[in-house]
Amino acid sequence: MGKGSLSFYISLYIVVFITMIDHSTISPIVAQYAKSLGASDSLAGIIVASYSMSALISLPVVGLLLDKVSRAGVVQSLILADLAVVYLYTLPRSPTELLVVRALHGAVDSALFPGILAVFRDMVTRRLETGFTLYWVVTGTPIAIGSLLARTVVLHYGFRGVFYALIPLYVAGLIASIEISRRYREALARRALWEGPRDPVALGTLVAAYVSAYILYTGIGTVVGSMSISLTRGLGLPREAAAAEVAWWAFQATLFSLLVMAFTARHVVREVSKALWALAIGLSGVALSMGLLLVSIESLSRTLSSLFFGVALGTVLPASSKIVSDTHYKYRGRASALLSVSFLTGVITGAVASSRLLETAHGLYTNYLPAAAGASLGLLLVLYVASRRRASRST
């Protein structure tokens, strides 16, 4: 990219930031917001889960749209729709109304990540190492600060204050998306969009990326879905204190992942083999993180677990997105959408399996076993794919 590229990059990273900040600020407060409207515990859980349910339905459709029409145009439309949905969050007076808004949010918001990832890879062809590093640092920052921002705003201005605070950000994102769309159309007219690598991404490599992303988010679902319960049962912490400890674990993991991403993203873009080894390191981090919690959930174990999980986040996220976005231009939208499906199904699997184990299995911390075992099996798969790729290259 040449003249005017700075305005494109600024616009791109604004949209990347906004893509993550609304989810990372809204998700931590949805359950309590629902209960403030009169929802029962079970209904609050359904409202929280409705985001993922609707997203699993919409993502394949949006992925197809990303490949059939202007990707930048789809992103612009999604941001406009997301702006409307964020405002709708301020209106519910009953749990049922909030359920509808939450489902709409999942259908729209979840599609922004694959959309902007595909646009990024279409457009950014020079200085890819720097661009990709910034992409993931900008992506990780709102994840790290989102829950803390939400807590601060809720304490001072209530639940609806969070949504009102997000509206100006989305207006800025909409303006940024107009610039992105303009530059995208220009590049399309010049046939300057990146079509894909000379050698197509192998199916086994794609499977390794999707499986790694799924397992990573199985770990997240396990922590979000059951850690507070195991802290209450195992250490006798009150529910509020247990919830705060889960939030602190997530904050430490995400913050540490930013440091890892700054190093990893620069290297994984160079070649697929490095991305595969980054996946292997990340799955080792998941296995160690969940393995520590299998043994103990005392403070030291939780701290070490969060650091290992930070390594996993900082390696699997950039490596999997690099592999997926290296698919051919014609399929990049659907490939990116499938990565988001892997994230969502991983969270659902981890939350359901871990909470179910807490109810039925013997042993206090067995809820962490599926994620630890899954990471170990996933590691074997990635190592197998990497070894096969190396063997094929040497013959």
How confident is the model at residue 379, as a pLDDT? 95
Q: What is the sign of the dihedral through the CA atoms of 156, 157, 160 and 162?
A: negative
Tokens linked to 97:
């109304």
pLDDT per position as a tens digit, 25-43: 887 778 778 888 888 867 8
Q: What is the sign of the dihedral through the CA atoms of 148, 8, 267 and 336?
A: positive
How confident is the model at residue 355, as a pLDDT? 76
pLDDT per position as a tens digit, 165-201: 889 999 999 999 998 888 888 888 887 787 777 777 7
Name which of 90-99, 118-127, 287-296, 369-378 the model is least confident about: 118-127
Computed over its alpha carbons, how large is the radius of gyration of the chain?
A: 20
Helices (H) and strands (E) in the chain, counts: 14, 0
Contact 75, 177 (CB under 8 A): yes
Tokens linked to 149:
């921002």
pLDDT per position as a tens digit, 8-21: 889 989 998 988 88
Q: Where in the chain is the domain with CATH 1.20.1250.20?
A: 5-189, 203-394
How confident is the model at residue 363, as a pLDDT? 57
d(CA 34, CA 50): 12
DSSP state of 198: S
How confident is the model at residue 157, as a pLDDT? 82
pLDDT per position as a tens digit, 143-168: 777 767 777 787 788 888 888 988 99
What is the second-level CATH architecture of the domain 203-394? Up-down Bundle (1.20)
d(CA 220, CA 65): 29
Choose the CATH number for 5-189 among 1.20.1530.20, 3.50.50.60, 1.20.1250.20, 3.40.1500.10: 1.20.1250.20
Burial class (CB in 10 A: 0-12, 13-18, 19+), 56: middle
Question: Which of 3, 305, 34, 350 has the alpha carbon at shortest distance from 183?
Answer: 3
d(CA 304, CA 306): 5
